[in-house]
Structure 1
Amino acid sequence: MFKVSLVTLSVAAASSAYSAGFSLGDQSATASGSALSTAAASSEDISFSYWNPALFLNAKKNTFYISGAYIIPKMDVSNIEATDATTSSISGSSTNTDSVDNTIVPSLYYAMPLSDDTVAGFSINAPFGLSGDYGDDWAGRFHATETGLQDIALSFSIAHRVNDWFSAGASVQVHKAEVTLESAVGTTVSSQGGEGVGKIEADDIGYGYSLGVLFTPVKGTRIGVGYRSKIDFDFEGDVKYTSDSPTFSGLVSAKSLVDADVSDSLTFPDILTISLEQALTPKLKLGLSVIRTGWSSMDEGLNIDFDSDQDNSKLTFGFEDQWMYSAGLTYDYSKKLTLRTGIARDNSPVTDEYRSARTPDGDRTWYSMGGTYHFSETSSATFAYTYVDIEDVSVDRTDLTEDSARGTYTADYSSSASVISLAYNMSF
């Protein structure tokens, strides 16, 4: 029997090629230009409040910042071999080069100073997300076809400058997450019931918070620490089955595959960011960051409960906590133009044992550049480009009990991504 799995929340072949796991790293075109090297410590603008809410203090007036990242992922899947649950070989192309979708990731921030030392703010972000579609006819279709995740977070923040060398901030967040999964179900053998399509759609609202501090021990040195909490979701939705096979109704009659309500609980990871912004000269700044993502909160993966006679479905993620390391430079070329560059190493939480068609993730290296042009003292535009090089990986799903209803699957993956980010900042 086909065991449905909400693996849409893993790093499926999708636009999450930008950041390891299924997190989305582009919350600020300014930060992306130096590969997030000053994420929790930057003095540049309010968009860095995503990593450290104390950085809303970068606003001296009412300030509006809007950013968008256009993610262009590329993934080549080769040497594909698969069997269904009856061990029958599945026909289909041995390669797949059109399984990831371009997407836009927006962010919006607004800051309102309440006094010289206190700033209130709110923001809208997409912290986690992915989008991809292998297609309905490829050989690995019993493991994955369409996958989608959208997480939108609304945050309300307050930041306060305690004295000349210490500031703090906090926020509360409301997350709305929606997930979609589609894959082939049944078998390719008509006498065993034939082949159909199963699709899950589910959603939930979760809540989180963030805390941050900023230290300026000496002029030109800023040290920031920011923490974004875990978010608990109790997803609820339904699964629906369709088929053109005349024998597929037998599986429905046997209650092996029936439309039903589904549910599962997942905890999205927490994120700790530690950053340094150090002035090297009056025009040149060095940025260093380490970012820890607590992916082990999703280690056990999914255990989908069906409101029917269908057995629970399990997909083990085996995720491990991981660190991202980045370094970058910011150079004030002139009063109007600021230039940035950076490099980062972003380690994948996916382990070899549990890598799958929905988690073909590998370690990443970012190469970033960007700049800001100041039209006036109150408005500016920012551009950033990041190339993400992802290590080649292989998937081997030939010896896992939880795949008994999906069959076996092996393939090699080669992936990369380009990210173009634009932002506009205005104060009044």
Structure 2
Amino acid sequence: MKKSSAVLFKTSLVALSVAAASSAYAAGFALNDHSATASGTALAGAAASKSDISFSFWNPALFTNAKQTTFYASGAYVMPSMDVTVDSATDATPNVPQKGLNGPVDLGNKVSGDSVNNTLVPSFYFAKPLSDKTVAGISLNVPFGLSGDDDQDWAGRFHATETAVQDIALSFALAHRVNDWASVGASVQVHKAEIVLESAVGFTGREGIGRIEADDTAVGYSFGAMLEPVKGTRVGLGYRSEVDYDFEGDVNYTDVAGLNAALTSFGRPNLVNTSLSDSVTMPSVMTLSLEHDLSNKLTFGLSAIRTGWSSLDGLNIDFDSTQDNSVLTFGFEDQWMYSAGLTYVYSDKLTLRSGVAMDSSPVTDEYRSARTPDGDRKWLSVGATYDFNDMTSATVAFTHVKIDDVSVNRTNLPEDSARGTLKSDYESSANVISVAMNMAF
């Protein structure tokens, strides 16, 4: 009886995960489209490019690309696709024959409908030269984010039904051109993050929905340098810091009357709406890039981007009630993205770009879940910029992202004792269209 009541009590713990569902564009839940210009080469040369001020996301020293007051606005429309096959799923029904509970129930093979949503990712940059060598910059980006919405009756509902994560960063930067071949820069960032996490709670015949909404504001920073030791060869290094969040929010339950009656019969507290908190660290990002002018028309670029995903070791949600803390392991590993690309000046008005990238997932097989069905990615990108005049240009890019097929095997982890088991397979990909306008005045 004690073990069974403990299982029932754990049903009050919603299946939480800040890294909740796969962002179909970038590994983990990073959003890497902060510039239609950079997307055209799959981010090759991102920390060393002389193209425009949007590259300041990866290296704030590149605000020195502005020779006059400049505004750059970019938007990426991410169109993901995910096919899910459920091999098996059971709930967490306890084995208590005298109460008519005879162990886990087979939940069938029903898959979710649209488990990933199309998403618009905006970015804005403004640069104001303070002198011939110093530039002040402001930017607004969404470094991390995702949106996923599963059916509330799908077979994996006790693991996830809805997930939304959004991290918005407002940056204030200064960049300085030290001499003809070196620039440096730094920024302070104000981050605002919001999280929505929802799943079914309970077990078949005694289930409801638990929904968490939480947010916090935090501060981060970045710094970088760009060197051109040989004319036509540029090397850049940029670093964006970890961001420490102390999330506070609420959990709200619906349709839990039957579950609460069962909890009462086991002598356990009912599920009640309450507040909660947890501390989470968003990862750092380091970008090392090279650009080399092969001719006066053709430029070759390389980038290596390291994301410190291991800072997201897991969650330890503290409920302001008699509920036990909810602990969830992420098992993320630090990973690299590598890209190579070409930029070709076709004419005085038209510039063409192309690039490829390999983006490794931080998710390990052991802890992959319905909220993190993430796999390694391959990018193929093309793009172009058209200069209307010396003051205004428009940029477009298209990226196809192929994601490795992965499987979720949640059958023997202690933290799933209140969620049941789930074995499922995922086939995913994404297409991304990016558009930007650059204006100087």
Normalising by structure 1, we get a TM-score of 0.96
In the TM superposition, residue 164 of structure 1 has moved relative to its aligned partner by 1.3
Relative to structure 1, the CA distance from residue 406 to residue 256 in structure 2 (aligned partners, 3 Å threshold; closer, same or farther) is farther
Q: Do residues 360 (structure 1) and 373 (structure 2) align? A: yes
In the alignment, which residue of structure 2 is the partner of 1:288? Answer: 302
* Partners of 1:309 and 1:238 in 2: CA distance: 14
* Percentage of pairs with the same residue: 65
Structure 2 stretches lacking a partner, 5+ long:
1-9, 94-102
Relative to structure 1, the CA distance from residue 349 to residue 200 in structure 2 (aligned partners, 3 Å threshold; closer, same or farther) is same
Alignment-mate amino acid for residue 75 of structure 1: M
The structure whose Rg is larger is 2
Q: How does 1:230-309 map to 2 (within 5 A)?
A: 230-243=242-255, 246=258, 248-251=260-263, 254-299=268-313, 301-309=314-322
In the alignment, which residue of structure 1 is the partner of 2:359? Answer: 346
* Partners of 1:393 and 1:97 in 2: CA distance: 18
* Partners of 1:402 and 1:113 in 2: CA distance: 54
* Partners of 1:96 and 1:284 in 2: CA distance: 47
Alignment-mate amino acid for residue 419 of structure 1: V
Relative to structure 1, the CA distance from residue 96 to residue 250 in structure 2 (aligned partners, 3 Å threshold; closer, same or farther) is closer
* Partners of 1:18 and 1:342 in 2: CA distance: 15
In the alignment, which residue of structure 2 is the partner of 1:220? Answer: 232
Q: Does the CA contact (< 8 Å) of 1:3 and 1:312 recur in 2?
A: no
In the alignment, which residue of structure 2 is the partner of 1:9? Answer: 18
Alignment-mate amino acid for residue 275 of structure 1: S
* Partners of 1:157 and 1:135 in 2: CA distance: 43
Relative to structure 1, the CA distance from residue 348 to residue 327 in structure 2 (aligned partners, 3 Å threshold; closer, same or farther) is same
Q: Alignment partner for residue 159 of structure 1, among 175, 182, 205? A: 175
In the TM superposition, residue 9 of structure 1 has moved relative to its aligned partner by 1.6
Q: Does the CA contact (< 8 Å) of 2:17 and 2:371 recur in 1?
A: yes
Relative to structure 1, the CA distance from residue 11 to residue 333 in structure 2 (aligned partners, 3 Å threshold; closer, same or farther) is farther
In the alignment, which residue of structure 2 is the partner of 1:205? Answer: 217
* Partners of 1:384 and 1:8 in 2: CA distance: 32
Q: Alignment partner for residue 85 of structure 1, among 75, 87, 92? A: 92
In the TM superposition, residue 250 of structure 1 has moved relative to its aligned partner by 4.3
* Partners of 1:342 and 1:106 in 2: CA distance: 21
Q: Does the CA contact (< 8 Å) of 2:256 and 2:271 recur in 1?
A: no
In the TM superposition, residue 4 of structure 1 has moved relative to its aligned partner by 2.9
Q: Alignment partner for residue 50 of structure 2, among 19, 22, 43? A: 43
For the aligned residues, what is the CA RMSD?
1.4
In the TM superposition, residue 88 of structure 1 has moved relative to its aligned partner by 2.4
Alignment-mate amino acid for residue 99 of structure 1: S
In the TM superposition, residue 3 of structure 1 has moved relative to its aligned partner by 5.1
Q: Does the CA contact (< 8 Å) of 1:76 and 1:97 recur in 2?
A: no
* Partners of 2:79 and 2:176 in 1: CA distance: 38
Structure 2 counterpart SS, 1:162:
strand
Q: Answer with 241-250 or 203-212: which moved more.
A: 241-250
Structure 2 counterpart SS, 1:216:
strand
In the TM superposition, residue 218 of structure 1 has moved relative to its aligned partner by 1.1
* Partners of 1:175 and 1:80 in 2: CA distance: 40
Structure 1 stretches lacking a partner, 5+ long:
none
Q: How many residues align?
A: 421
* Partners of 2:212 and 2:86 in 1: CA distance: 28
In the TM superposition, residue 82 of structure 1 has moved relative to its aligned partner by 1.1
Q: How does 1:73-112 map to 2 (within 5 A)?
A: 73-86=80-93, 87-112=103-128
